[in-house]
Structure 1
Amino acid sequence: MTFRSLAFNNVLGKWRSYAAFFLSSVFSVAIFYMYAAFLAHPDVASGEWPAAAKVRQGMEIGEYVIILFSFLFMLYSGSAFLRTRQKELGLFSLFGMTRSQLRRLLVYENAVIAVLSTISGIFLGILFSKLFFMSLAALLGMADSIAFAVPPLAVGLTAGAFFVLFSAITAWTALRVGKTEIVDMLQASRRPRDELVYSPRLVPLAIVCLSLAYAMAFALRPANLDFLVLPILLTVLLGTYLVFTQWTLWLLNVLQNRPNIRYRGTNLIVLARLGYAVRDNARMLFIVSVLSAVILTVSSAFYMLGYAAPDDAFKERAALMRFIGLFIGLLFFIASGSMIYFRLFTELPEDRAQFRALRRIGMTKNELRKIVVTETAFLFYVPCLAGIAHSLVAMKALDRLLQTSYWAHSFVVIGIYLALQTLYFIVTCRNYMKKIVPGEGEPHENTV
């Protein structure tokens, strides 16, 4: 078996873990292509449509946002993939693979994902570009629709940008391989979990930071806007990070120390698993909560501005920016859900072994389902609720800043977001339960 076929088989064999990352990458490529196709369209580039100049800058900024976000998302995903595959890489080393061969294997695997996602993303972008052009033409008030075109410059720019992006992530991943000893790789999944630890000093600091940030947000006025924006952003980020790394662990510890809560139903298992889930995934929960806040704040702001606009020209510009931001918001949403999906399915073998042990000591399938649903709901909705809280404060501050009364309109955006999040949760939870609960769904596949 060659390295290329081994890499390809590895990707296929772990497709359930790779699927969410792959789909997020495809969506990123597709959106980037559609923006690039509009900017490189012959009629737009030649200046034949003056109305297109209204959205050119927004499209260009959107492309930079997509590339930056995709880099950070892939960097996080690559690090998480590498961490969960320590045992597998250790076995390859034990069977005689050198460090350079391990790096080569990972390069081939990343190349498979890169080529498939780039080609699929460009194809998807081409497929939906006509609809994208038609929607833009309608928003710009153009009499004629934008003709369908596949600009070679857009294809080349998209392929080139993501080639550089994937190459950078692949190089970083390859450099990290080989820094861990074989014994440590093999024992990576067998190390006993440390006791859950939090700092009594940092727990109240999380609440202090968020309270201070919210107070400053409500104190925003045109005169102090430039002075307060950065402190608000920094204290919100610090407070949110401390909520997931310190305060949540403290809260779970408090609940575990109350016998009337701890020994009720399956709470003993649920609280213990949630504690380790939060401790091991605090950074992921922090990132998802920030992404949720960004999605909701930007979407709600454009939605509010559409109502608060004093004239038709401003309303049109707000509608155009909302349209451009819609796709980036969808990208953020899919990526945040993918991080949670990825966490669940990369730790599937370990979780399955724990649930089988619980089944052997007498737990019923309904009790196992309750544990799965509770833990999955926590991972999906807690960072989502944190993002909603940040967004509502930001929207209330914007409402006061603009001296308007359209704050309640942000609940429309929040409702749509919660509906989409719930749909994502149901699909993920159902798929995960089929794999984790003995006797549910299809037979279990073998994993390395």
Structure 2
Amino acid sequence: MTFPQFAFNNVMRNKRTYAAYFLSSTFAVMVFFVYAMFAFHPAFHQETIHSSVSLGLHFAESIIYVFSFIFVLFSMSSFLKTRKKEFGLLVMHGMTNMQLRKMVFLENVLIGFFSTILGISLGLIFAKILLMAAENILELEETLYFYFPVKALVLTFVAFLFLFVMISFATVVILKGSKLVDLMKGNAVPKAEPKASLLLSFLAAVLLAGGYVVALLVKGVGVAAAMIPVTTAVIIGTYFLFTQLSVFLIRALKKRQSFFWKKTNLVLFSDLAYRMKDNARTFFFVAIVSTVAFTAIGSLVGFRSMIFTSLAAENPFAFEYVSEEGNNNEMDHVSLIRNELDKEGIPFKETKVMVKELLAKGDSDDQSIHIVKESDYNDLIQSGEFEFAKADLNGNEAMVVYPESTVNSGKRNIEQERNKTIVLKENQVNLEQRSSLAANIFPNFVDYIVVDDGMFEQLTQFEKQRDYYAFYVKDWKKTIGPSKKLTSAIEPEAIAGQYQFFSLPATWNFLNQAFGATLFIGLFIGAVFFVAAGSFLYFRIYTDLDDEKRKFAAIGKLGLTDKELSNIVTIQLGILFFAPILVAVIHGAVALTALQHMFDFSLVKESMLVLGSFFVIQVIYFLFIRMGYIRKLKRSI
């Protein structure tokens, strides 16, 4: 048997230990390859489609690559600890330190090579499905056809082969200088009872509580200012939570004899402090990584919801056309809009509003104001099926319509502005404001003053006069096809200052594709972080499996039943598995709440969707781990 064959057989004999590491590495390779396949796709390099998506995908690749390096290095260092005794036996039988390091190097390269091959193969197998999914998510106008991704294949193979070679060199350095006596003892070296500092435990509680309170209390731009100090405090607090506070709480529970000596709590908590202390850094890393994944995905989903909700709220009409005086294309453009909607059989309601712009006396300087007549306003709100009250004005009475954004932001208090006198400079008329309304029914997000029809006709002195056409379509998302035609037909002919054209479906479609690309990239990165977090916990739990087998085999001789064993292992694994996940869920919920305060937009639905989905998947993952773990323990008893 040659030395490479010996290394290969060693990997095959440790299939259980290496299985999760191999599959997780394969998944990382597959995701990297999929990103590369999309990034190099010819469709993304055409100007008509999101060329920026390609840049975003390459950026995502770099994040995945760096994270994969950390993930693989951490995983390998954990595996090496579980094989110390095996290495000691090999050295005892004559293997030199150089041969030992060579063997480990070859094992890592073999695992890396085959996981790279399998990851690329799976990416190719599911390539067409993934391309179709991306096409639907991004809502691209052109088909993402299947192509053989030579560049993506070469980049992935070279990048990950280099990564695994570098990891192999790193693991060799870890083994360098290990003594035979240390290898033979392995993990059997007696451990000192873990101790926790009362001061550091208190500091952990203070930092976490303080960070949460500040994050939940600050509003608006204060959230951005508090982000760095709060994040720093929470990260430090999380580290001390797992290294100090968790051990302190377990030791406090053990001192309560009424609790510690109850049923199987003695077995459950006897070595829980040791395992928490040993795995503290892993739990800290998993908690932070999971928090980043939660917050990133939640933010992307939340921002997308916020943008589209705001877009629909601020633009209730499917199409808006504003024509200035002297615009010779007015009737042609309005007829074009009507004809396109009629051609597609789309029902719509059209309203024409005449707007006069004139000067009014302000506190310091003259102000330009926009005036519309009562009948046009009433027709407008009826066409859009709004629940606003009709205007009923007489003489010089006026109603001011404010943009909702200025009222909701707190910049305006419309109640305080009632009974205000509006002095029209050129017409020598005083308008008395009797009522007000916050609505986005007029263009350009400025104030509009509604007056009686007779008063409107009397205002003959004005700066400008324009016509505003509003087209209300109930199912406006179905007008994307006509809106594209109208946008291409009207906008290229635009003459500066003569008219404005806005298409809600076209704007929505553009933003949907842009945010779809961002969400697509973010979800895949989040998936990598998600799998890595679960894999880290899997590795750490299974690292202690041999010790747990010996412990429960000894306890089993004292009469431990299968039911008691299952209960003890389930609770202990649950604490070890869900402690960092629960901390990450709390961190993520606080972070998303802070973002909600920053943008004054509810992210409760999005937060529950992201955090809930992740938690449910982790519960399913835990149940599979628990089932296999208990089965292996029972076999050893």
> Residue 332 of structure 1 corresponds to which residue in structure 2?
529
User: Between Structure 1 and Structure 2, how many residues are aligned?
Assistant: 438
**Could you report, residue by residue, the CA deviation over 1:40-59 in whole angstroms, capped at 9, with x for unpaired residues?**
12343xx3353232422321
> Residue 10 of structure 2 corresponds to which residue in structure 1?
10
In structure 2, the CA distance between the partners of 1:339 and 1:247, relative to structure 1 (3 Å rule), is: same
Q: 2-side partners of 1:137 and 1:343: how far apart? A: 39
SS in 1 for 2:198: coil
C-alpha deviation, 1:374, in angstroms: 0.9
Note if 1:430 corresponds to 2:627. Answer: yes
Q: 2-side partners of 1:150 and 1:256: how far apart? A: 61
Query: Where is the helix percentage greater, Structure 1 or Structure 2?
Result: 1
C-alpha deviation, 1:221, in angstroms: 4.9
Q: 1-side partners of 2:188 and 2:23: how far apart? A: 31
* One-letter amino acid of the counterpart of residue 202, structure 1: L
* One-letter amino acid of the counterpart of residue 514, structure 2: R
> Residue 111 of structure 2 corresponds to which residue in structure 1?
113
TM-score normalised over the length of structure 1 = 0.94
**Could you report, residue by residue, the CA deviation over 1:18-40 in whole angstroms, capped at 9, with x for unpaired residues?**
11111111111111111111111
Note if 1:347 corresponds to 2:547. Answer: no
In the alignment, is the contact (CA less than 8 A) between 2:82 and 2:543 conserved in 1? yes
Q: 2-side partners of 1:207 and 1:122: how far apart? A: 46
C-alpha deviation, 1:406, in angstroms: 2.4
Query: Where is the strand percentage greater, Structure 1 or Structure 2?
Result: 2
> Residue 294 of structure 1 corresponds to which residue in structure 2?
292
> Residue 143 of structure 1 corresponds to which residue in structure 2?
141
> Residue 281 of structure 2 corresponds to which residue in structure 1?
283
In the alignment, is the contact (CA less than 8 A) between 1:369 and 1:437 conserved in 2? no
Aligned pairs (5 A) from 1:214-253: 214-221=212-219, 223-224=221-222, 227-253=225-251
**Could you report, residue by residue, the CA deviation over 1:330-377 in whole angstroms, capped at 9, with x for unpaired residues?**
211111111121122232222111110010111111111111111111
CA RMSD between the two structures: 1.7
Note if 1:205 corresponds to 2:402. Answer: no
Aligned pairs (5 A) from 1:128-167: 128-167=126-165
C-alpha deviation, 1:314, in angstroms: 3.8
Q: 1-side partners of 2:636 and 2:191: how far apart? A: 28
Q: 1-side partners of 2:561 and 2:538: how far apart? A: 25
> Residue 443 of structure 1 corresponds to which residue in structure 2?
none
Q: Structure 1 residues 316-325 or 370-379, which shifts more?
A: 316-325
**Could you report, residue by residue, the CA deviation over 1:355-404 in whole angstroms, capped at 9, with x for unpaired residues?**
10010111111111111111111122111110010001001000010011
C-alpha deviation, 1:256, in angstroms: 0.7
In the alignment, is the contact (CA less than 8 A) between 1:87 and 1:186 conserved in 2? yes
Q: 1-side partners of 2:157 and 2:233: how far apart? A: 38
Q: 2-side partners of 1:38 and 1:83: how far apart? A: 39
Q: 2-side partners of 1:315 and 1:205: how far apart? A: 45
In the alignment, is the contact (CA less than 8 A) between 1:240 and 1:286 conserved in 2? yes
Unaligned ranges ≥5, structure 2: 312-507
Note if 1:410 corresponds to 2:604. Answer: no
TM-score normalised over the length of structure 2 = 0.67
In the alignment, is the contact (CA less than 8 A) between 1:302 and 1:319 conserved in 2? no
**Could you report, residue by residue, the CA deviation over 1:57-85 in whole angstroms, capped at 9, with x for unpaired residues?**
32122101100110111111121112222
> Residue 568 of structure 2 corresponds to which residue in structure 1?
371
C-alpha deviation, 1:224, in angstroms: 4.4
* One-letter amino acid of the counterpart of residue 168, structure 1: M
C-alpha deviation, 1:227, in angstroms: 4.0
Unaligned ranges ≥5, structure 1: 441-448
> Residue 445 of structure 1 corresponds to which residue in structure 2?
none
Q: 2-side partners of 1:215 and 1:226: how far apart? A: 15
Q: 2-side partners of 1:318 and 1:376: how far apart? A: 39
* One-letter amino acid of the counterpart of residue 198, structure 2: P
SS in 1 for 2:559: coil
Q: Match for 2:177 among 172, 176, 179?
A: 179
> Residue 32 of structure 2 corresponds to which residue in structure 1?
32
Note if 1:58 corresponds to 2:255. Answer: no
**Could you report, residue by residue, the CA deviation over 1:143-193 in whole angstroms, capped at 9, with x for unpaired residues?**
332110122111110011111211111101112223121111111222112
> Residue 89 of structure 2 corresponds to which residue in structure 1?
91
> Residue 446 of structure 1 corresponds to which residue in structure 2?
none
In the alignment, is the contact (CA less than 8 A) between 1:16 and 1:345 conserved in 2? no
